[in-house]
Amino acid sequence: MACEPIVVEVGDKKIEINEDIVKILNEYARTEYNLERLAEALDLESWEEAYEFVKKVPAWILWVSPTLFRLEKEKCGSS
């Protein structure tokens, strides 16, 4: 996992991937969470922006646990 922040640009917004975003993406990937709901959770304008966001997010982020994501980021801070 890279130590640099992961930032995804959608429209005029920049979304930094953090533990909360990972939780939302996990729920999206593992349940019947639709793109409209994802757009609402991420404060995006439409399902089209949510679709663009999902296309730009590294695929592994959809499946990594939020706890593991946080622990890996903490390791970067202590290196």
Q: Tell me the per-residue pLDDT of 31-58, one tens digit each, with 9 for 90 and over.
A: 999 999 999 999 999 999 999 999 999 9
What is the residue range of 62's domain?
7-78
Residue 67 φ then ψ, to 5°: -65, -45
Residue 2 covered by a domain: no
Question: What's residue 36's pLDDT?
Answer: 97
Question: What's residue 1's pLDDT?
Answer: 63
Residue 25 covered by a domain: yes
Residue 58 covered by a domain: yes
Query: For the residues 3-13, what does the mean pLDDT come to?
Result: 93
